[in-house]
A and B are shown apart, each in its own frame.
Chain A
Amino acid sequence: MTKWVRRRYLALKVVSEQPVNERDVMDAVWNAVLKLFGEYGASQANLRLMEYDPQRNFAVVRCSHTVLERVRASIASITEINGKPAVIHVIGVSGTLRALRKKALT
Chain B
Amino acid sequence: MRRFVDLHLRAPIKDLDQVERMVRKSSELGYRLVGILLPPSVTRDQINQLQHICNDAKIDLVTRVNFSPKTPRELLHNLRRFRRKFEVISVTCTSKGVARQAAKDRRVDLLHFPATNLRKRFFDHAEAELASKALSSLEIEMAPLLLLTGFLRIRLLSRLRREVAIAERLKVPVTISSGATNEYLIRGPHDYAALTTLFDMAMPSALRALSENPLAIVERNRAKLSPDYVAPGIRVVGRKSGD
Contact = CB atoms under 8 A, between A and B. Distances in A.
Interface string B49-78: 000000000000000000000000000000
Interface stretch (A1-9, A49-57, A74-82): A74-82
Given A77-B145, A79-B146, A79-B147, A15 B184 contact: yes
Contacts of A35: 149
A85 interface: yes
Interface residues of A, number: 16
Given A69-B197, A69-B203, A89-B29, A76 B192 contact: yes
Contacts of A76: 146, 187, 191-192, 194-195
B184 A90 contact: no
Contacts of B188: 89-90
Kindly name the residue among B147, B194, B203 whose own CB sees the greatest number of chain A CB atoms within 10 A.
B194
Interface residues of B, number: 20
Contacts, number: 45
A87 B184 contact: yes
Contacts of B184: 15, 79, 85-87
- Of the candidates B145, B182, B198, the one having the most CB atoms from chain A within 10 angstroms of its own CB is B198
B185 interface: yes
B222 interface: no
Interface in B185-218: 185-188, 190-192, 194-195, 197-198, 203
A101 interface: no
Nearest to A86: B184
Contacts of B183: 87
Interface string A65-95: 0000110110111010000011101100000
B24 to A, nearest CB: 12
B93 to A, nearest CB: 26
A72 B185 CA distance: 15
Nearest to A79: B146
A77 B147 CA distance: 8
Nearest to B198: A73
B157 to A, nearest CB: 10
Interface in A41-61: none
Nearest to A78: B146
Contact of B195 (A73, A85, A87, A89): A73
Contacts of A90: 188, 190-191
B207 to A, nearest CB: 12
Given A79-B146, A79-B147, A89-B29, A73 B187 contact: no
A99 interface: no
Interface of B: 29, 145-147, 149, 182-188, 190-192, 194-195, 197-198, 203
